[in-house]
Amino acid sequence: MVMRVRLSKTFHFEAAHDLPTFPDRHKCRRLHGHSFRFDVVVEGDVDPAKGYLIDYGEIKQAAEPVVNQLDHYYLNEIEGLNNPTAENLARWIWLKLKPALPLLAAIIVHETCTSGCEYNGK
C-alpha cells in the first residue's frame, strides 16, 4: 500500500526591501524590513521499508545556502530580486531549491505573521 505525504520544514531570515511596483504613496514603496519565514514543502510516496519520505536534514542542507544569500541583505540588490514581492521571492527560492530537491512541491513565503504566498512551480 502506497502512502503519499507532504512534509515541510520552516526557515527564517531577516531582510530589507521596498516594492517598486506599488502605488506611489503606498507604505511598501518605502524601505522597510521583515522577519521573513518560508516553508519548504516536499511531496512523495513513503518507502514502506523505510517508513519515511526524506530526511529533514536533506531539506536543511538544500535550503541553508539559500537562507545565507538572503539573511540581512537588501533584497532588491540580489540578482533576480529587483522586485522582491512575496510572489517573486517564492519563485526565486523555488528555482534555487528545485535542482537540489526534486521532491519539492511548494514554497510558502510568510512576509508577516498574517500574510503569505504559496508557489508550486507553475
Catalytic residues: 28, 72, 111
Residue 41 CB-half CA count within 13 A: 15
Per-residue buried b or exposed e for 65-89, using 16+ beta carbons within 10 Å of the residue's own CB: ebeebbeebebbebeebebbbbebb
Closest CA to 36 of 115, 118, 119: 115
